[in-house]
Amino acid sequence: MAILVFLLVIVLLVIIPGVRIINQYERGVILRLGKYSRTLSPGFRVIIPYIDKMIKVDVRTTPMDIPKQEVITRDNVTVNVDAVVYARVIDAQKAVLETTNYRYATSTFAQTALRDVTGNFDLDQLLSERDRISQQIREIVDTQTDKWGIDIESVKLQNIELPSDMKRAMAKQAEAERERRAAIISAEGEKSAATAVAEAARMLAETPGGINIRTLQTLEKISTDPSQKTVILLPTDLADKFPGVAK
């Protein structure tokens, strides 16, 4: 009986405290007496309590917001830029042993890279070449975080906030551009209409009786109201063909 009690106490004090469950998206870094021992894969695991310490590391892709940064572009325009970094732990051992907080370290370094890279571009480039700028930031951050066991999958610039006076200037420029395009479209329409009228006039002049037929069509349109009196000056060649009308 005493042996059974002793064994039960051993189970309660040794085995049960050492039971660990590691989820599929986690890895368990084991430190034995403060020294790295091994990295455990997902599943049911047992460690030596009071001797082993397990640190769980999430290996899923994690978005990290980069707070808004004030940046002076190459053409001396002050803008506020923020971004998001998508990172994933590929080496749990390095993530635990090489940094005190790999998420904070990655985010902080990304802030510095964001300011350095965007400051090397003009404002127009910053607005139109986001993908290229994001790729440069990703490469710089990824090179640094490799030693921490972190893979930077992508970096996306989110908001580029311009000064108020710059916004007004760009709005006026856009409005002027719209007016210019409207004027060009209107002029092209007038040109097309004039060309069509000139072509029609030429065809009527070259067609025998064409002008006479056009005149008759005009008379038909304006004579729909019986009470309306209209004085028509007929061409000489048309009047000669209708002597009664000429009189």
Mean per-residue pLDDT, 67-80: 87
Which residue is listed with tokens 């490469």? Answer: 139
173 pLDDT exceeds 70? no
Distance between CA 155 and CA 83 in Å, rounded? Answer: 7
Residue 108, pLDDT score? 93
Q: In the chain, pLDDT over 70 holds for what percent of residues?
A: 73
Q: Got the DSSP string for 112-139?
A: HHHHHHHTTS-HHHHHH-HHHHHHHHHH
Distance between CA 175 and CA 191 in Å, rounded? Answer: 24
What confidence category does residue 246 fall into, taking pLDDT thresholds of 50, 70 and 90?
Answer: very low
What mean pLDDT, rounded, does the chain reach? 81
Mean per-residue pLDDT, 166-180: 65
Mean per-residue pLDDT, 212-235: 58
Mean per-residue pLDDT, 28-34: 93
Is the overall model pTM greater than 0.75, yes or no?
Answer: no
247 pLDDT exceeds 50? no
181 pLDDT exceeds 60? yes
48 pLDDT exceeds 50? yes
What tens digit of pLDDT does each residue of 109-138 get? 999 999 999 989 988 888 888 999 999 999
What single-letter DSSP state applies at residue 59?
Answer: -
For the chain, what's the residue count? 247
CB-based burial label for 2 (10 Å; 0-12, 13-18, 19+): exposed
> What tokens were used for 74?
């190459």
Residue 4, pLDDT score? 77
Residue 57, pLDDT score? 95
- CA distances, 181 to each of 15, 108, 124, 173, 178 (Å): 79, 46, 21, 12, 5
Distance between CA 119 and CA 231 in Å, rounded? Answer: 78
**Residue predicted with more confidence, 150 or 123:** 150
Lowest mean pLDDT, pick from 51-55, 60-64, 203-207: 203-207
